[in-house]
């Protein structure tokens, strides 16, 4: 009997290993389960019902320009470490110059462990051909993703993608203990039980925020990892409430200052989706954020801005042409200076950024001459364009110079320098928005919590505070300048999935006694917990508002002003441009 049982077990294991783990490898359900990211802006994507290997359709990609690479990606669930995973796909190619089939493996926090060693080139012209890669699943793998990349021009059809391998066994869930009665009583009295993440509808459940924010000028809305769909939905709804009920009339993103400001023209024309793609980073061009932009485009007085020194949306490329037009009343920018700035601007998005010393010197000199042109002709420019527009371009010239220095610093050995440089400039940009651009308005700031928190030296990861010892982040500057007038909300989640640019991954289980564990035991799925004043959360406690690493520990009332708890995190969903 033991022999028969063993035979059945081995047969079942073999069958499991051959089962296709990809439910929509033939695109019969459209793009369900797949994400296409057009990084270059030169690739068209469609479902082709005429050209296909099997079934009713294939996916068709047509790229007409060069780098950066464009990627078609699908996420896999957990795979058993040490086992083999194989990916097989059928391709039809027409003049493909440079493409690849790859698999990436990720740990529980979504960080890359390694790229599979077996990668296959996709290049040339041929009818349907099967390409296969096989890789061992590395230790520590929590999830994986298949990448099909197009680097150079070409036309590619994809069909019948299959994945075989041994999925990991689902983790066993612990039986939770009842919540301490004193903590429950405190939460009943002080916490805000949020009723929904839906953008539309009543917001009366958020009314208890009013006394907390009565004297606040800047509310910072954080997030864990830039891949947090439920957090994005919560932030968008909070933004609507704070605008309508408390007069917060500016929302500034961790995105390029100039392009966010310029996108207000699109919002004024009722073009919410176009404004989203023109302004903010791709991580936020998602279905969870789109309702906020459509709301701003519906005639509301909520104005968009940005505070990052880096370029983000499509309108970033319009800065120098717009600057040259703006300067015409003061004089033309010379052809040599235009050429010097174009040489740098064309490389800033390269990885790595690699200008020559001569190119950097020429660009810096050009920016200095433009700065002098503005200063010497300030009255004339203000008479033509108005003082607010003149001040915007003046500030953006200085901001651009910091951006160039930051991108160059990213290529140097001191890896702490660029982070400090960027965060200091983001803080100065937010200060400029608050004190110069919008001195009479209350501001919402949307960014990663790691940029917005303060007292980061009190945060430990895996028992060590080394991560933040050499970094003064934006939040520290803002907290030092504005004190109690700034209020920072972090976000934490118990379970679920996160992901988009990196593959979807399951959130690791929180530690017993952590903030997420306690709020999970509290029983309400959405809770905003204020941290100013006495609370049961004053002592150092595990919580993950700055990634999903469950070893993060801090005295959170000294780092954040509130924590928004969601029971279930969801991955974000990309919204393509029209």
For residue range 242-290, what is the model confidence (pLDDT) as tens digits? Answer: 999 999 999 999 999 999 999 999 999 999 999 999 999 999 999 999 9
- Domain assignment present for 47: yes
- pLDDT category at 32 given cuts 50, 70, 90 is confident
pLDDT for position 3 = 42
Q: What is the domain extent for residue 129?
A: 21-165
- Domain assignment present for 496: no
Burial 4-18 (b: 16+ CB within 10 A, else e): eeeeeeeeeeeeebe
Q: Parallel, antiparallel, or unpaired: how do β-strands 486-498 and 562-569 relate?
A: parallel
Distance CA 484, CA 487 (A): 7
Is 334 in a helix, a strand, or coil?
coil
Mean pLDDT across 130-139: 91
Helix orientation angle between 474-482 and 416-432, rounded to the nearest 10 degrees: 40
Distance CA 529, CA 190 (A): 7
- Residue 135 pairs in a beta bridge with 85
pLDDT tens digits for range 468-494? 888 899 999 999 999 999 999 999 999
pLDDT for position 282 = 93
In the structure encoding, which two tokens stand for residue 469, read together? Answer: 């010892």
pLDDT for position 13 = 38
Nearest to residue 559, comparing CAs of 479, 492, 448?
479
Domain count, the chain: 1
- pLDDT category at 107 given cuts 50, 70, 90 is confident
Nearest to residue 247, comparing CAs of 200, 198, 289, 209?
209
Query: At residue 567, what are phi and psi to the nearest 5 degrees?
Result: -65, -45
Is 445 in a helix, a strand, or coil?
strand
- pLDDT category at 5 given cuts 50, 70, 90 is very low
- Residue 88 pairs in a beta bridge with 132, 162
- Domain assignment present for 155: yes
Could you count the other beta carbons within 10 Å of the beta carbon of residue 176?
11
Percent of the chain with pLDDT over 90: 74
Q: Does residue 400 surpass a pLDDT of 90?
A: yes
Helix orientation angle between 416-432 and 387-409, rounded to the nearest 10 degrees: 170
Q: Does residue 8 surpass a pLDDT of 90?
A: no
More reliable by pLDDT, 83 or 536: 536
pLDDT for position 235 = 98
Please state the pTM of the whole predicted model: 0.77
Q: Does residue 6 surpass a pLDDT of 60?
A: no
pLDDT for position 18 = 60
Q: Are 131 and 120 in contact (CB under 8 A)?
A: yes
- Residue 491 pairs in a beta bridge with 564
- Domain assignment present for 28: yes
Nearest to residue 474, comparing CAs of 466, 484, 464, 482?
482
- Domain assignment present for 56: yes
pLDDT for position 177 = 86
Burial 372-383 (b: 16+ CB within 10 A, else e): ebbeebeeebee
Helix orientation angle between 335-345 and 319-326, rounded to the nearest 10 degrees: 160
**282 burial class (0-12, 13-18, 19+ CB within 10 angstroms)?**
middle
> What is the DSSP secondary structure assignment for residue 20, as one 8-state letter?
-
The edge-to-edge listing of strands for the beta sheet with 552-554 is: 460-461, 552-554, 541-542
- Domain assignment present for 108: yes
Distance CA 493, CA 545 (A): 8
- pLDDT category at 20 given cuts 50, 70, 90 is confident
pLDDT tens digits for range 320-365? 999 999 999 999 999 999 999 999 998 998 888 999 999 999 999 9
pLDDT for position 16 = 43
More reliable by pLDDT, 97 or 9: 97
- pLDDT category at 402 given cuts 50, 70, 90 is very high
- pLDDT category at 169 given cuts 50, 70, 90 is low
The CA-based angle 359-360-366, given to 5 degrees, is 90
Could you count the other beta carbons within 10 Å of the beta carbon of residue 486?
23
- Domain assignment present for 36: yes
In the structure encoding, which two tokens stand for residue 140, read together? Answer: 């520590």
- 234-237: list long-range contacts, CB under 8 Å, 24+ apart: 234/194, 234/197, 234/491, 234/526, 234/564, 234/566, 235/446, 235/491, 236/199, 236/288, 236/289, 236/291, 236/292, 237/196, 237/197, 237/198, 237/199, 237/203, 237/206
- Domain assignment present for 42: yes
pLDDT for position 45 = 86
Q: Does residue 166 surpass a pLDDT of 80?
A: no
Distance CA 335, CA 313 (A): 26
Residue 157 belongs to domain with CATH number: 2.60.120.260
Residue 154, H or E segment = strand 154-165
The DSSP string of 471-505 is ---HHHHHHHHHGGGEEEEEEEEEEEEE-SSSPPE
């Amino acid at each position: 009997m033991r022999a028969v049982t063993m035979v059945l077990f081995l047969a079942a294991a073999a069958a499991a290993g051959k089962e296709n783990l990809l439910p929509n490898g033939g695109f019969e359900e459209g793009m369900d389960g797949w994400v296409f990211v057009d990084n270059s802006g030169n690739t068209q994507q469609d479902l082709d019902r005429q050209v296909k290997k099997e079934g009713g359709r294939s996916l068709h990609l047509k790229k007409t320009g060069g780098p950066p690479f464009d990627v078609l990606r699908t996420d896999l669930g957990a795979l058993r470490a040490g086992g083999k995973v194989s990916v097989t796909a059928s391709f039809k190619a027409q003049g493909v110059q440079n493409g690849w089939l790859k698999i990436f493996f990720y740990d529980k926090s979504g960080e890359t462990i390694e790229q599979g060693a077996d990668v296959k080139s996709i290049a040339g012209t041929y009818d349907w051909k099967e390409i296969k890669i096989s890789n061992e699943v590395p230790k520590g793998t929590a999830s994986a993703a298949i990448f099909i990349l197009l680097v150079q021009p070409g036309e590619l059809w994809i069909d019948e993608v299959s994945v075989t391998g041994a999925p990991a066994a689902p983790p066993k869930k612990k039986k939770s203990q009842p919540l301490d009665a004193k903590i429950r009583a405190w939460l009943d009295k002080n916490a805000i039980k949020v009723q929904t993440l839906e953008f539309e509808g009543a917001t009366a459940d958020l009314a208890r925020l009013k006394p907390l924010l009565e004297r606040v000028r800047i509310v910072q809305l954080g997030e864990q990892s830039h891949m947090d769909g439920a957090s994005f939905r919560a932030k968008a709804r909070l933004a609507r409430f704070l605008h309508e009920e408390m007069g917060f009339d500016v929302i500034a993103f961790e995105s390029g200052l100039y392009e966010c400001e310029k996108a207000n023209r699109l919002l004024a024309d009722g073009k919410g989706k176009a404004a989203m793609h023109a302004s903010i980073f791709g991580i936020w061009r998602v279905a969870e954020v789109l309702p906020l932009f459509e709301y701003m485009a519906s005639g509301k007085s909520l104005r968009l801005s940005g505070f990052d020194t880096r370029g983000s949306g499509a309108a970033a490329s319009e800065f120098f042409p717009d600057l040259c037009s703006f300067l015409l009343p003061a004089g033309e920018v010379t052809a040599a200076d235009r050429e010097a700035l174009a040489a740098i601007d064309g490389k800033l998005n390269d990885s790595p950024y690699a200008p020559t010393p001569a190119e950097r010197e020429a660009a810096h000199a050009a920016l200095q001459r433009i700065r002098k042109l503005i200063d010497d002709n300030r009255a004339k420019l203000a008479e033509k364009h108005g003082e607010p527009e003149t001040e915007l371009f003046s500030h953006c010239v200085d901001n651009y110079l910091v951006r160039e220095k930051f991108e160059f610093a990213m290529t140097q050995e001191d890896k702490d320098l660029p982070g400090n440089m960027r965060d200091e400039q983001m803080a100065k940009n937010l200060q400029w928005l608050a004190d110069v651009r919008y001195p009479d308005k209350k501001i919402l700031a949307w960014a990663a919590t790691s940029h917005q928190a303060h007292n980061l030296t009190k945060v430990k990861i895996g028992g060590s505070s080394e991560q933040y010892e050499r970094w003064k982040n934006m939040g520290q500057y803002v907290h030092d300048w504005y004190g109690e007038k700034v209020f920072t909300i972090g976000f934490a989640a118990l379970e679920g999935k996160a992901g988009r640019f990196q593959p979807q991954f399951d959130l690791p289980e929180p530690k017993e006694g952590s903030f997420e564990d306690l709020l999970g035991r509290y029983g309400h799925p959405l809770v905003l917990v204020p941290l100013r004043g006495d609370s049961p959360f004053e002592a150092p406690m595990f919580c993950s508002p700055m990634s999903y690493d469950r070893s993060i520990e801090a005295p959170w009332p000294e780092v954040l002003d509130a924590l928004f708890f969601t029971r279930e995190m969801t991955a974000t969903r990309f919204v393509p441009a029209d």
